[in-house]
Amino acid sequence: MNLFTLIQYPPYIIDLLSKEGIRNFSITFLLILFFLWIGRFIKIEKKLVFAKAISIITIIITSANHIIDINNGNWDIYENLPLHLCSISNLIVCFIVFLPKNQKLFEFLFYCGLWGGLMAILTAQINDYDGSLFKYIQYYSSHGTIIFMPLFMFYHLEYKLSKFSWLRLLIILNICMAIIIPINFKIGSNYMYLAEAPNIKNPLVFGDWPFYILNWEFIILILFYITYVLFTRKKV
């Protein structure tokens, strides 16, 4: 295969209400809950080792995915740079537990990983899908991991959300959008789906450009705040 011959594979879209969508959603979240439950029985000094093992596996799978795309002639700067919200979260998963405790990265992963991963699993769109089992599993494993890791860090590694973190993350997310929008227009990409709405049935995506982005702003504000309240409320 010529590395410089670009092959475009159409995205594979999975309807959540289909048998395939329900099956994949159920399996992914049962595995997330299972590994979170397993964390309760891991000795305190081994919990970080477990998290690092998950990060190393994520690095291997992510690297393999890029290598396969390059080998297939299907890698390009328009779709494969880590500039989607889930790709950024996946990148953070790869190294966050190897760093000294970083509250800002954790909170980015917590809010953006949780909701980005959840939306990606609910409304699955596997880009560059070449029909292989690896690509199929990689999609769900990568999005499942960006949900699992911040929850594991929260429940088992003593990371907590700081005051007004939901508002800070909303501001940071808008800064990211302000950077990525001109990149999209410059190179003709659609990172974070800021140039064009995704081709999926998503109740959170409505309106034409740029109005669906404004709708997202309002919805994300509510979701981030609800997340903050749920995970910071004191136990009675």
pLDDT of amino acid 108: 97
Residue 53 lies in a domain: yes
Residue 61 lies in a domain: yes
Residue 209 lies in a domain: no
Residues of the chain falling short of pLDDT 50: 1-4, 236
pLDDT of amino acid 1: 42
Residue 200 lies in a domain: no
Q: Each residue of 206-236: pLDDT tens digit?
A: 777 888 888 889 999 999 999 999 999 865 4
Q: How many structural domains compose the chain? A: 1
State the residue range of the domain holding 152.
12-168
Residue 222 lies in a domain: no
pLDDT of amino acid 235: 58
Residue 85 lies in a domain: yes
Residue 196 lies in a domain: no
**For the residues of the chain, what is the DSSP string, one character each?**
--TTS--PPPPEEE-TTSHHHHHHHHHHHHHHHHHHHHGGGS-HHHHHHHHHHHHHHHHHHHHHHHHHHHHTT---TTT-STTSHHHHHHHHHHHGGGSSP-HHHHHHIIIIIHHHHHHHHHTEEETT--S-HHHHHHHHHHHHHHHHHHHHHHHHS---PPTTHHHHHHHHHHHHHHHHHHHHHHHT--GGG-SS--SS--TT--SSTTHHHHHHHHHHHHHHHHHHHHHHSPP-
Residue 226 lies in a domain: no
